[in-house]
Copies of this chain bind each other. A is one copy, B any other.
Amino acid sequence: MLDVIAPLVISNTTKIVLVSLDGLGGLPRPETGRSELETARLPNLSQLATEAACGLIRHVAPGITPGSGPGHLGLFGYDPLQYQVGRGVLEALGIEFELRAGDVAARGNFCTVDDTGRITDRRAGRIATELNLRLTERLRRIKLPGAEVFVESGKDYRFVLVLRAKSKSGGLSARLSETDPQQVGKPPLPVKALEPRAKTTATLVNRFVAEAKRLLADAAPANMILLRGFDQLPKLPRFPEVFGLRSAAIAAYPMYRGLARLVGMEILKTGGTFDDELATLKEHWAANDFFFLHYKDTDKAGEDGDFDAKVQALERLDRAIPEIRALGPDVLIVSGDHATPSILSGHGWQPVPVIIWSRYCGPDSVTAFTERACSAGSLGVIPAQHLMPLVMANALRLTKFGA
């Protein structure tokens, strides 16, 4: 689809705001039969839905629960089945490591092994982040020939390993098997090259693991490491160029800044709250055409299984809608990257409501921003990657196809 869109893009001065409510979609609470969106008082979103075209977005495929990576790539116009982002890269994005093309990133766990080298705990008793910080300091001492080594702490027992070739000719490959056998009672596996040109990288990683074992010998329960999800930055068409939009991302959480950076958006500095994000939006209003505005609270409440907190998070977001509309966007989209139903306490496969508002959207009969109401909207159930072409059309930024 991007190949079809790109040659049709034309330039104008319209402004687009995409508000992404993380984990937006929900499910009815059995006691009331009403979902989080159906329970919340959302006068501003209802008004927007009334004036807009509504529908449901499916991010990957029917029945597939999207992770944050595919969820966002879809919203940004990329088919998430065509453009896959590996675990190691997502972890690096999540701690805002400035991954470069060619870097090999892996997700790391500290783990516990017994005297015979067999794993007894794949998460090292979920050690505190503070201990993690001290142990990654040790791992940073490891030197490898021909490659820079980066070891970055994550939360609890997690870390990220990144290898960067010192010379262009010494290119690394991420086509490597994992060391994590995914069960206790077995020793960590050696890394194997899954393609011939990955052999050198496999040797480097195995050397890193051997060194790590030595350096952590006295650090039980965190006396060993596991590595998985080796990957490199995917080659994605750049969002600002494909769509011809000066594109800015405003997100308080690093993972979402990372995903926006992955497609080439400018990342605007912002504070830790949604109010900070709104202030950033106003401040940079003149300088950009497209704003990706990320709202995390809905997902957090859903992940916690806290139905009421999710309702409140929705109501807080609703109160911000007039502020956003007051800026005078030409196209305003409200949707999300995936469902996080509170009764699932995790991501869900359910399609997610979407509102597309513009002067030219063609309002349908939907008057509420809920899963059920939007399922009857004029957009129907659309793959996420169909959203951006619709947004561009509503911004009058696409010329016609065929004379």
CB pair B401–A63 under 8 Å, yes or no, is: no
Q: Which B residues touch A364, using CB under 8 A?
A: 372, 375
Query: Does A348 have its Cβ within 8 Å of any Cβ on chain B?
Result: yes
Q: Is the CB of A87 within 8 A of B403?
A: yes
| Known pairs A68-B403, A90-B402, A392-B63; A360 contacts B344 (CB<8 A) | yes
Identify which of A27, A63, A69, A365 gathers the most chain B CB atoms within 10 Å of its CB: A63
Provide the A44-76 mask, 1 if CB < 8 A to any CB of B, else 0.
Answer: 000000000000100011111111111100000
Is A123 interfacial (CB 8 A cutoff)?
Answer: no
Whole-angstrom distance between the Cβ of A362 and the nearest chain B Cβ: 5
Known: A341-B360, A375-B364, A378-B375. A84 touches B402 (CB 8 A): yes
Give chain B nearest CB distance to A393 CB in angstroms. Answer: 4
Q: In the assembly, what is the distance between CA of A402 and CA of B341, in Å?
A: 18
Are B65 and A390 closer than 8 Å at their CB atoms?
no
In this complex, how many residues of chain A approach chain B with their Cβ under 8 Å: the count is 67
A400 interface residue per 8 A CB criterion: yes
Known: A372-B378, A375-B378. Contact between A67 and B363, CB under 8 A? no
List of B residues within 8 angstroms of A402 by Cβ: 60, 66-71, 80, 84-85, 90
Answer yes or no: A22 CB below 8 A from chain B CBs.
Answer: no
How far, in whole Å, are A8 and B346 apart by their CA atoms in the complex? 16
Known: A363-B33, A380-B381. A403 touches B61 (CB 8 A): no
Task: Please state if B8 and A398 are interface contacts (CB–CB under 8 Å).
Answer: no
0/1 interface trace, chain A 1-21, chain B, CB 8 Å (1 if under) = 100110010000000000000
